[in-house]
Amino acid sequence: MKISKGGPALNTEVQHRPKTDIDGLVLDFRNLSAENQKLLTDQVLDGFSPAEVARVFILRGKD
């Protein structure tokens, strides 16, 4: 779905992720409780392919 409001069209498709030259992703969840770390990790990784998940590094707290 594209929406135009007098300027360039905005792509509102949530699943669209532009291709970049980034080799990986670092997520810092150290300040979250163990329960919130698990919930957020599951939600974040759900949107990635297995190949992309292999390049995600998650910093977790001691909980």
Local confidence pLDDT in tens for the 63 residues of the chain: 455 455 555 555 555 666 666 678 888 888 989 899 889 888 888 888 998 888 888 888 775
Domain presence at residue 9: no
Return the pLDDT at 1: 47
Among 40, 49, 50, which Cα is nearest to 58's? 40
Q: What is the pLDDT of residue 18?
A: 64
Q: With respect to residue 12, please indicate whether it lies within any of the assigned structural domains.
A: no
Give the predicted TM-score (pTM) of the model: 0.50
- The answer to the question of residue 22 being in a domain is yes
State the total domains in the chain.
Answer: 1
Give the structural domain span for 31.
18-63
